[in-house]
Amino acid sequence: MVGYKGICLMTNKFYITTAIPYVNASPHMGHALEFVQTDVIARYQKLEGRDVFVTTGTDENSLKSVQAAAKEKVPAQLFCDRNSESFKKLAKDIGLHYDAFIRSSDKDAHWKGVERLWKSCFDSGDIYKKTYKGLYCTGCEAFYKESELVNGLCPEHLTPPEVVQEENYFFRLSRYEQKLEELILTNKLKVTPETRKNEVLSYIRQGLEDFSISRPAERSKGWGIPVPNDDSQKVYVWFDALSVYLTGIGFGRDEKLFEKLWPADIHVIGKGIIRFHAIYWPAILMSAGLEVPKEVLVHGYVTSGGRKMSKSLGNVADPLKILGRYGEDGVRYYLLRKIPTFEDGDFSEEDVVTTINNELVGNIGNFVHRTLTFIYKNFGGEVRVDGALEGAETKVLMEVGTLVSEAETSLSKNRLGNGLADILAIAAAGNKYFQESKPWETVTSDRQRCERVLFTGASICRTLSVLLYPYLPVASDKLSSYLNIDIKSFDDAKPLFKGSIKTAEPQPLFQKRP
């Protein structure tokens, strides 16, 4: 692998990022979904033995941050300080393990990298200044062509854009039209899923125009990163915010870390910002002489009643409050199970309760608790099989082994919901096996047979503890502690056909919700 400045970097690294959300409003369920998806992918890669690094953060140098702060009559920095903490709290409460949280208002961690990127693109001849008049959506922090509007409204926010005329710096995106098409077509920059790849190609083939990468300092009320050598302009939000993917791993301040980790293996983003990540961003990187990311993974929206959640519609669910009611594992499970990885999906709090009770408590939790409790009470917390298993035991463990392989394949392709379905199938197979084997009868009539049954059940629990690690880390930690195992790799999920399994007294993995 060739890294920055052509240095050969043969590493086992895996670098993944979330999108960098605006702080003009509180986090919504879409942010929660993205945090969970990113975390599942990162945890799976750790099980595969990769050296994983996760970057997230907040986009604070936007015009709408300034406007929102002015509306509340507080300084922009104070406003961003407060709102950034809510995103940190969401990341913590939902279990996103990150290595870098970069705030774009942080001069030490971020600004030097942005300035360096700007100078590299400027030296490549791709930045120039001109007066421009266009249709601007503050919500998107982007200019739109009239042909891109829907009935005269921004296609994302369904609000009328304002006509803005000002002198800005522009980036020569048009210079990279052919290179970008080749990148996407050949999957050198993979856009997932295929429908989003086709969407990007269609946009490129319509013809790319140069885009604004600065705004007047006067209009932004002096807020933001000054353009190098021109204090009258501030770096425009997308050039600034996208740079977090670089500064999160030390660009401009920690050369060694940056050389180790770049390029990004996956950017996880929502479909509303695909143009900026799959077109603008790789063009900027190519201009600066940097490698492009390997993949942009695009998820859909969390909807309510079939409509995108919006404060104006009154259908917003506060993820922090939902987490307070149903816990980390409950919310993670629901989002991964009910919201398709690459499509829109509807959120219903009533459905959260039903899903937790029926699938977490009634299926996975029920199997684990009945199996481990029986072992603890009747075999002192240890079951052993010295010879090879056969018959019904071999049959169910072979079935489980097949499902483990399918789950790994799903995770390797980031089909997160499919992998979770495999886990459910494993627990269902375990419940069926336990019920049909009737250990409550053989515990007195044939203890050797009973022990084989319970060893088989405990082996399936061991498999579940590993497979749950990317999805439900709290439950995985509990279950692995009950089984006295240390999860180190995905190979630990393979079913055991002989040996000894020691268990502690278990507590329910999940609580039924009223």
Which residues are tagged catalytic? 28, 31, 137, 140, 154, 157, 308, 311
CA-CA distance, 424 to 403, in Å (whole number)? 10
CB atoms within 10 A of CB 299: 27
Residue 406, amino acid: E
CA-CA distance, 155 to 139, in Å (whole number)? 11
CA-CA distance, 462 to 24, in Å (whole number)? 44
CA Rg value for the chain:
26
DSSP state for residue 8 in the 8-state scheme: B
CA-CA distance, 431 to 364, in Å (whole number)? 9
Phi and psi at 358, nearest 5°, equal -80, -40
CA-CA distance, 281 to 288, in Å (whole number)? 11
Tokens of 128: 């120039």
Sheet of 302-304, strands arranged across = 307-308, 302-304, 345-346
Phi and psi at 290, nearest 5°, equal -110, 155
Tokens of 87: 């995103």
CA-CA distance, 162 to 135, in Å (whole number)? 6
Place of tokens 């799976």: 44
Residue 58 three-state SS: strand
- Residue 396: exposure state from Cβ atoms within 10 A (0-12, 13-18, ≥19): buried
CA-CA distance, 24 to 487, in Å (whole number)? 40
Sheet of 214-216, strands arranged across = 214-216, 230-235, 226-227
Buried b (16+ CB within 10 A) or exposed e, 304-337: beeebbeeeeeebbebeebbeebbbbbbbbbbbb
Q: Which residues contact 240 (CB under 8 A, 6 or more apart)?
A: 59, 61, 104, 114, 224, 225
Enumerate the H helices of 349-507 as residue ranges.
Answer: 349-355, 366-379, 392-412, 416-437, 439-445, 447-471, 473-482
CA-CA distance, 101 to 347, in Å (whole number)? 27
